Amino acid sequence: MTAQPFPVSEIVAARRPHRKDAARNYDALLAAAREAFAEHGAEASLEDIARRAGVGIGTLYRNFPTRRHLFESVYADEVNALCGLALEVADLEPWEALTTWLDRLAGYMVTKRAVREALNDESEIFASCRESMYAAGGPLLERAQRAGEARTDMDFADLVRMVAGVTGTTFDDDAQRNRVLSIALDGVRTTR
């Protein structure tokens, strides 16, 4: 599989500061926001996010002038990581590549739920991210289908909806979520 540009990478690169110290703060804020949104949803405290990142609230606002800007940046960063992972796993066996990527997608869905509450589905960021995610993950499903390891009566949109359905419910812990996702993926796999 050859590396292909994903439009969302341009969004991420354009927003990330170039100075090393500023980039480090930016990255720390994104990680803290991702964690806070997963725990508390869209209403996570910006002060808590700044504290988790080890920076002041002023640094948060310099990087993310509005809450919406922070949501969009977290979302784009997550999708960018998913796109990168698709390239990283491309050399694995088809089923392993697909499920490795889907495990990461499931974790991303937790953050996406919080961000989606705050952003409109018509957002330009959503459109770019969706296009990038499908361009990254779609070929992994197609490869597993060509290898005879995944059902051919489904498309990538079906698979994403299935993962979203699994992750859209509450679990006792990540282990339970992973177990349920594995059960669901057994319905996709054609070989055992």
Query: What is the predicted pLDDT for the residue at 1?
Result: 44
Residue type, 164: A
Q: By the 8 A CB rule, do 118 and 74 touch?
A: no
Cα–Cα distance measured from residue 66 to residue 60, given in angstroms and rounded to the nearest whole number = 9
Query: What is the predicted pLDDT for the residue at 168?
Result: 80
Query: What is the predicted pLDDT for the residue at 19?
Result: 82
Q: To the nearest 10°, report the CA torsion of 157, 162, 164, 167.
A: -160
Q: By the 8 A CB rule, do 85 and 72 touch?
A: no
pLDDT tens readout for residues 10-65:
666 667 777 888 889 999 999 999 889 888 888 889 999 999 999 999 999 999 99
From 124, 115, 132, select the one nearest 81 (Cα to Cα): 132
Please tell me the CATH code under which domain 7-186 is placed. Answer: 1.10.357.10
What's the Rg (C-alpha) of the chain? 17
Give the largest Cα separation in the chain, rounded. Answer: 54
- The list of the chain residues with pLDDT below 70 reads 1-14, 110-123, 192
Query: What is the predicted pLDDT for the residue at 31?
Result: 93
Q: To the nearest 10°, report the CA torsion of 43, 67, 132, 113.
A: 10
Query: What is the predicted pLDDT for the residue at 6?
Result: 47
Residue 6's H or E segment, with its range, is none
**Which residues pair with residue 150 across a beta bridge?**
189
